[in-house]
A and B are shown apart, each in its own frame.
Chain A
């Protein structure tokens, strides 16, 4: 699946999608933004017959009066309640459809767009409620593993050991990354998937799957963040690839009670190759290796894949 090994059929598939793009240029996201790289791919699949319902986060600034990169619709709600906004829009569209006041061709896909801060924390109650009610919506979460828009403070998605603006001690963030995939899967929704902008074919296939299903669906996009994680913007895709190849970010999907790993890294690269690329983990290697924290990170990745592969 790596660039050089890409076969001709896949090449054509990519090429056809790049004669023009749907998401407009000129956004205020940082150069090399992993979240934006994922979302522009995602938007190509979802298309303009959609309404994006947004919660506070980096992507709130995508639409900044009088400028918007979207060709479809957009509604900013607040940090806690984007899924509730989606509920209102979806219910109203359904009422209009049922009463014949909206042609089927005018219907919209209801898409929630939030970062990990909202998805894992303040917005989780509203998300859980939307799943309880079997809301027909697609939730896109760009996971940059912290409150990126306010300067990368630790969120519930921050991984163990990462230095953030609120965990600047020698050990970095002491908590563990919340398993949002598992939390969603425990609700038994229609579809849950992880994606990474470094793996566009996997991403596009999963988005196409999600798009053709009804009910609650989550696409959790890995969003390497040059600004918040401390690496050069040009390395963003490499950081994404390493996250997958080291097994830190498993690419997988959940459907009908079953979890499938869509790419199993074999052999798995040493996790340190991923960590070393990023300033947020530099304190684990300098001035000397922090074996204790590194061991914990390694063993949690090993334990994850041992359970998958056994």
Chain B
């Protein structure tokens, strides 16, 4: 199979979200829709050891020619961010490989100029406030993102998108399909002003490429190079609080200091102070809300993360 020399024919698209927000489904809907349009397609989710709520991503490649590239997309043409709280988490890798030609689509109510300045990205940035546009259940954010992305790419018809959603969600039943369809098509329509802004990127030329700078691999003694952790409790450096979409908040006036919350918290994210009042470690609380559920005095309440003062902004992932 001969290809045109260096022809820009391959779309490279990445979806970023959290476990449970349907990024795999979003990538599959988009992949299916492109497949409907006669493209060769490759789509895949990427998840590590972390679970629900943790940052994950999924990607789609599409081309009129057979696709030989594999694995993580390093030079995306389109990056979709379903959850803007990921933007402040460097480890989520949202901006990895984002260049001037990359289109960035962010689910955010913030205005484009301030987002652009905050993220320091040169390329086109499109923001959509999914909640304002009728998305009230975060489980459907994936479908909304797929619908929006489909319009930005510009080569997917409304009917192909619809077929893709019906195919990909067939196992979930008519009611869920209906909700997803409505949202995805709504966001597809919403993106009409930006139709076709995404263009497929060129591959990396073998004439002019960055040297990978391999090292001459050094020998190190086993005491250094054994896969062992010599320090205790290092996992506290992992800020699993970033998984949270809702947080428990204590009302000290109602607290009876029974300590059940600290007992039941699976994460050890609640300790008691000297007076016996619970202290919630928001760096690590994953937001399971067992403490809210189990508090006999109803002294804990649930607060959506984006309603908390400052939210996650400023929290750093080490």
Q: Do A and B bind each other?
A: yes
On A, residues with C-beta under 8 Å from B are: 3-4, 6, 11, 14-15, 18-21, 23-34, 36-37, 40-41, 48, 61-72, 74, 197-198, 200, 226-227, 233-238
| A233 CB contacts on chain B under 8 angstroms | 288-290
Bound Cα distance from A200 to B293, whole angstroms = 16
A3 and B294 contact, CB distance less than 8 A: yes
| A30 CB contacts on chain B under 8 angstroms | 51-52, 286
Interface-located stretch among B38-46, B133-141, B237-245: B237-245
A26 and B235 contact, CB distance less than 8 A: yes
| B260 CB contacts on chain A under 8 angstroms | 3, 6, 14
Determine which of A18, A69, A237 lies in contact with B290 in the assembled complex, contact meaning CB atoms within 8 Å.
A237
From B229, which residue of chain A is reached at the shortest CB distance?
A68
Determine which of B51, B243, B258, B264 lies in contact with A227 in the assembled complex, contact meaning CB atoms within 8 Å.
B51
| A11 CB contacts on chain B under 8 angstroms | 258-259
B266 and A26 contact, CB distance less than 8 A: no
A33 and B272 contact, CB distance less than 8 A: no
Bound Cα distance from A27 to B54, whole angstroms = 12
| B237 CB contacts on chain A under 8 angstroms | 26, 67
Closest beta carbon of chain B to A181's beta carbon, Å: 24
| B239 CB contacts on chain A under 8 angstroms | 26
Bound Cα distance from A66 to B232, whole angstroms = 10
B290 and A32 contact, CB distance less than 8 A: yes
Bound Cα distance from A68 to B271, whole angstroms = 20
B266 and A36 contact, CB distance less than 8 A: yes
Bound Cα distance from A25 to B281, whole angstroms = 9
B268 and A68 contact, CB distance less than 8 A: no
Query: Does B205 lie at the interface of the complex (its beta carbon under 8 Å from any beta carbon of A)?
Result: no
Closest beta carbon of chain A to B151's beta carbon, Å: 34
B267 and A237 contact, CB distance less than 8 A: no
Dominant secondary structure at the B interface: loop
Query: Does B50 lie at the interface of the complex (its beta carbon under 8 Å from any beta carbon of A)?
Result: yes
Q: Given A3-B296, A34-B266: A15 and B235 within 8 A (CB)?
A: no
Add 16 more A-B contacts to A65-B227, A200-B264 (CB < 8 A): A3-B296, A25-B267, A25-B283, A28-B54, A28-B238, A29-B51, A31-B287, A32-B290, A37-B264, A37-B266, A48-B232, A63-B229, A64-B235, A69-B236, A74-B229, A197-B266
B232 and A68 contact, CB distance less than 8 A: yes
Q: Given A3-B260, A11-B258, A15-B276: A31 and B243 within 8 A (CB)?
A: yes
| B288 CB contacts on chain A under 8 angstroms | 31-32, 226, 233-234, 236
How many B residues face the partner with a CB closer than 8 A?
49
A24 and B294 contact, CB distance less than 8 A: no
Bound Cα distance from A61 to B293, whole angstroms = 27
Within 8 A of A (CB), among B153-198: none
| B30 CB contacts on chain A under 8 angstroms | none
Determine which of A36, A41, A70, A226 lies in contact with B233 in the assembled complex, contact meaning CB atoms within 8 Å.
A70
Q: Which 7 A-B pairs have the closest CB atoms?
A: A32-B288, A24-B233, A26-B238, A25-B284, A31-B286, A26-B235, A233-B288
Bound Cα distance from A48 to B273, whole angstroms = 23
B238 and A67 contact, CB distance less than 8 A: yes
A71 and B233 contact, CB distance less than 8 A: yes
| B290 CB contacts on chain A under 8 angstroms | 32, 37, 233-234, 236-237
Closest beta carbon of chain A to B24's beta carbon, Å: 13
Query: Does B262 lie at the interface of the complex (its beta carbon under 8 Å from any beta carbon of A)?
Result: yes
| B296 CB contacts on chain A under 8 angstroms | 3-4
Closest beta carbon of chain A to B279's beta carbon, Å: 10
Task: Name the residue in B54, B238, B270 with the highest tally of chain A Cβ atoms < 10 Å from its Cβ.
Answer: B238
Within 8 A of A (CB), among B201-218: none
Closest beta carbon of chain B to A43's beta carbon, Å: 9
5 residue pairs A–B, Cβ–Cβ below 8 Å: A28-B238, A36-B267, A41-B263, A68-B232, A69-B235
Within 8 A of A (CB), among B71-86: none
A31 and B52 contact, CB distance less than 8 A: yes
Bound Cα distance from A28 to B271, whole angstroms = 20
| B53 CB contacts on chain A under 8 angstroms | 31
Bound Cα distance from A74 to B229, whole angstroms = 9
Determine which of A3, A6, A40, A63 lies in contact with B266 in the assembled complex, contact meaning CB atoms within 8 Å.
A40
Task: Name the residue in A6, A28, A61 with the highest tally of chain B Cβ atoms < 10 Å from its Cβ.
Answer: A28
Bound Cα distance from A72 to B233, whole angstroms = 9
Query: Does B257 lie at the interface of the complex (its beta carbon under 8 Å from any beta carbon of A)?
Result: yes
Q: Given A68-B235, A70-B233: A18 and B263 within 8 A (CB)?
A: yes
B235 and A67 contact, CB distance less than 8 A: yes
Query: Does B269 lie at the interface of the complex (its beta carbon under 8 Å from any beta carbon of A)?
Result: yes
Bound Cα distance from A31 to B246, whole angstroms = 12
Task: Name the residue in A27, A71, A227 with the highest tally of chain B Cβ atoms < 10 Å from its Cβ.
Answer: A27
Task: Name the residue in A34, A74, A233 with the highest tally of chain B Cβ atoms < 10 Å from its Cβ.
Answer: A233
Query: Does B100 lie at the interface of the complex (its beta carbon under 8 Å from any beta carbon of A)?
Result: no
B293 and A33 contact, CB distance less than 8 A: no
| A24 CB contacts on chain B under 8 angstroms | 232-236, 268
Bound Cα distance from A65 to B281, whole angstroms = 23
Task: Name the residue in A14, A19, A234, A235 with the highest tally of chain B Cβ atoms < 10 Å from its Cβ.
Answer: A234
Query: Does B49 lie at the interface of the complex (its beta carbon under 8 Å from any beta carbon of A)?
Result: yes
| A227 CB contacts on chain B under 8 angstroms | 51-52
Query: Does B103 lie at the interface of the complex (its beta carbon under 8 Å from any beta carbon of A)?
Result: no
| A200 CB contacts on chain B under 8 angstroms | 263-264
